[in-house]
């Protein structure tokens, strides 16, 4: 059974975080999902999902629309003694979705100011998959250099840009496609979305 870490930052893309959390927590091969919400994520998800979150626990409830799962463990962003802050705690990878420019910079430069940063640092040093679902536009040279540093360290940079070959008919289909690609990068089998060359 697999364990994953999901980091959620203050960048736009709360629906993508919701989809990843939901599908991971329902996946038959996933035993545990460790969620970490940054302080700024609460403001963004409140704006995007229309419900105010006063703390991380409420933020997780808003993200999951009240559908909490016992497979999801919430860690406070300030808890640097959490299990996922140590390489001795086994996980199968981490996704930061959405990933802000500030979080990208912290990860690329190894400056861990919170548990999300530290968990990503651990994921890299233990040579586990780390996927950064970057969500900033336009992209500056600072972003590009930080992407380069993160990629050289072993991270996969996956900007949240939609595909159109599958002719999405709704926002939900676009978000599901993001989740499908992220699962592919985690080497996690799934039947989400539409693949190129299939009907």
- Give the per-residue SS3 of the chain: CEEEEEEECCCCCHHHHHHHHHHHHHCCCEEEEEEEECCCHHHHHHHHHCCCCCCHHHHHHHHCCCCCCCCEEEECCCCCCCHHHCCCCCCCCEEEEEECHHHHHHHHHCCCCCHHHHHHHHHHHCCCCEEEEECCCCCCHHHHHHHHHHHHHCCEECCCCCCCCCCCCCHHHHHHHHHHHHHHHCCCCCCCCCCCCCC
What does the pLDDT profile of the chain (199 residues) look like in tens digits? 899 999 999 999 999 999 999 999 999 999 999 999 999 999 999 999 999 999 999 999 999 987 888 999 999 999 999 999 999 999 999 999 999 999 999 999 999 999 999 999 999 999 999 999 999 999 999 999 999 999 999 999 999 988 888 888 999 999 999 999 999 999 999 988 777 776 5
pTM of the model: 0.94
The fold of 2-185 is Rossmann fold (3.40.50)
Sketch the domain layout of the chain as residue ranges. Answer: 2-185
Buried-state track 99-127, b at ≥16 Cβ within 10 A, e below 16: bbbbbbbbbbeeebebbbbbbbbbbbebe
């Amino acid at each position: 059974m697999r364990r994953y870490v999901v980091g959620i930052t203050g960048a736009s893309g709360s629906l993508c975080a919701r989809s990843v959390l939901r599908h991971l927590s329902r996946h038959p091969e996933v035993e545990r999902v460790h969620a970490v919400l940054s302080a700024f994520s609460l403001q963004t998800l409140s704006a995007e999902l229309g419900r105010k979150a006063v703390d991380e626990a409420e933020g997780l409830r808003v993200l999951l629309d009240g559908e909490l799962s016992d497979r999801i463990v919430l860690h406070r962003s300030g808890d640097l003694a959490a299990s996922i802050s140590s390489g001795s705690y086994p996980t199968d990878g981490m996704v930061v979705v959405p990933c802000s420019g500030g979080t990208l910079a912290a990860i690329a430069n190894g400056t861990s100011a919170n548990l999300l940063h530290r968990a990503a640092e651990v994921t890299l040093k233990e040579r586990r998959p780390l996927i950064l679902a970057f969500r900033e536009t336009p992209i500056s040279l600072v972003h590009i250099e930080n992407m380069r540093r993160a990629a050289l360290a072993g991270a996969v940079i996956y900007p949240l840009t939609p595909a159109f070959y599958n002719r999405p008919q709704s926002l939900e289909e676009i978000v599901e496609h993001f989740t499908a690609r992220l699962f592919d990068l985690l080497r996690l089998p799934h039947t989400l979305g539409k693949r190129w060359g299939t009907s």
